A and B are shown apart, each in its own frame.
Chain A
Amino acid sequence: MRYVMVIDTLKCVGCSDCVVACQTENDVPTGYCRDWVTESVTGTYPEVDIELRSERCNHCDNAPCVRTCPTEASHIIEGGIVLVDRDLCIGCGACIESCPYDARYRHPDLGIVDKCTFCVHRVKKGQDPACVSVCPTNCMYFGDLDDSNSKVAQLLAERKHKVLAKEAGTSPNVYYLI
């Protein structure tokens, strides 16, 4: 079992519905977010290319946050989801410093480090993460890459794709169709 998220940058319109859905579903503190939308513009007018990406924790196979955590609070569960154990986290910030995606923050009220969980509480019930389920353009997909019949496996087999900061050596599990 290997959970991955596949995001079609050609279908994303940057509406930020995924961000709001996540904030509501996960009781994210006001002003904070576990996912966000990046607009990446390359080239100069008139040769301009725009890419819209919904970004979040990449649930890396080789997660630097898990490696640098001194208390084993950051850990990887079955399926490859990276989680923070709130009872073990002391809020030292080592994982925040180690994340190439700046996907973690210190919870302003709890002091612990918080981030995207791939909505593990929904996934366990067989549902999609909140961001995926609300996307109005259906540009986000979630599933098991080890299952060759899954939509994510088929998309990655058929379409050209990339991951972010590949050179960081983190083996991320959020893929972008380009």
Chain B
Amino acid sequence: MKEEIFISGRNIPHIDPHLAIWEFPISLYLFLGGLSAGILLFSAFTHLLNKDEELKGASKWAPLIVPFALAIGLFALIIDLGNPFYSWKLYTTIRLESPMSWGAWVLLIVTPLSILWIFSDLRKLFPKLNYTKLPFLFKVEDFCVKYKKQMALALIPLTIILGIYTGILLSAFNARPLWNNAILGPLFLVSGLSTAAATIILFAKSAHERHLFSKIDVLLIVIELGLIIHLIMGYYAGNEMQVEAVKILVGGDLTTLFFGFFVALGLLLPLVLEVFELMGFKVPVVVPAILIIVSGLIFRVLMVEAGQITRILY
């Protein structure tokens, strides 16, 4: 038996008895970052494959929410800082060893790019828009239309980095055994793509587009389930601290949230519903799509919280 206590009466807020430095805003930021990355990636691909008109939901409508999602995500990130008014100091240096640093830089590039990306089609989507009072916007629009292909080519690597970054931000901390799992980056990327596909289903303008993204989503959920098995196996194959850490998800306090709400209600149920819909059964597509989106957020809240409860034992 081993028991350790602080006899000097240490009880620091947000540190003891376990860390709670990163709370809901960080989870929301990771969720919105992954969602935005996924939508932009799908949108860029539809443009490069010349399917803009065929897949209007993916190419034009869904990206409209991205600048707002990124703005809310960044706002959440900034209010979670101890020194929000000094957040610009993130941009005084680039530190490749620090995921927080290169993630901030990628966001700095992707956020304006997402605005330019939707700007090229904005007047087609909203014909009443008129820039006559701000004529320079016509030039911006011309620029966006002219360089749309180049933007799409840039968005593909940038959004993949952004999607993976949301996971690597956590997995880079070896002091938190539950986070310190290399599969977390790919898992967050796939989860982000899956929530993006679900969002595009909500924006789809034709049955063809809805079915295509349902198929993509089915594939992504299957990959995600595979990665989750990989994740859990990784803990059990790990050292004592990781075996101890995974108990929180398997049999511990967060088991219901993880297996019940995330895996069962958020992945398996929508998977079955989407397969049924593709087989021709009448399923309201909103249901699986909303389940996937909500479970994506639950997953991030869960991982951010659970990781901070686990620690290196000594």
B-binding residues in A (CB < 8 A): 14, 16, 19, 31-33, 36-44, 52, 64, 67-73, 88-94, 96-100, 102, 105-108, 110-113, 164-165, 167-169
Contact = CB atoms under 8 A, between A and B. Distances in A.
Contacts of A37: 6-8
Main secondary structure of the interface of B (DSSP, over half): loop
Given A90-B81, A100-B175, A70 B5 contact: no
Contacts of B10: 33, 36
From A52, A106, A110, A164, name the one whose CB has the most chain B CB atoms within 10 angstroms. Answer: A106
B87 to A, nearest CB: 6
Interface of B: 1-16, 19, 21-22, 80-84, 86-87, 89-90, 92-93, 95, 97-101, 104, 172-176, 239, 308, 311-312, 314
B194 to A, nearest CB: 26
Given A64-B174, A100-B175, A168-B174, A70 B14 contact: no
Interface pairs A-B: 8 shortest CB-CB: A91-B82, A111-B82, A70-B101, A70-B100, A100-B175, A111-B83, A93-B21, A37-B8
B98 A94 contact: yes
Given A91-B83, A164-B314, A41 B14 contact: no
Nearest to B175: A100
Nearest to A52: B7
Given A33-B12, A41-B4, A97-B175, A69 B98 contact: yes
18 contacts: A19-B8, A37-B8, A40-B3, A52-B7, A64-B173, A68-B100, A71-B101, A88-B89, A89-B82, A89-B86, A96-B19, A97-B21, A98-B174, A98-B175, A100-B314, A102-B19, A165-B312, A167-B312
B4 A67 contact: no
Nearest to A69: B98
B6 to A, nearest CB: 5
A14 B12 CA distance: 19
B97 A68 contact: yes
Given A37-B7, A90-B86, A113-B82, 15 more contacts: A16-B8, A31-B11, A38-B6, A42-B2, A52-B7, A64-B174, A70-B90, A70-B101, A90-B83, A92-B82, A94-B98, A96-B19, A105-B12, A107-B82, A110-B82
A106 to B, nearest CB: 5
Nearest to B16: A102
A112 B87 CA distance: 12
A165 B83 contact: no
A67 B28 CA distance: 25
Contacts of A52: 7
A68 B90 contact: no
A67 B96 CA distance: 9
B95 A70 contact: yes
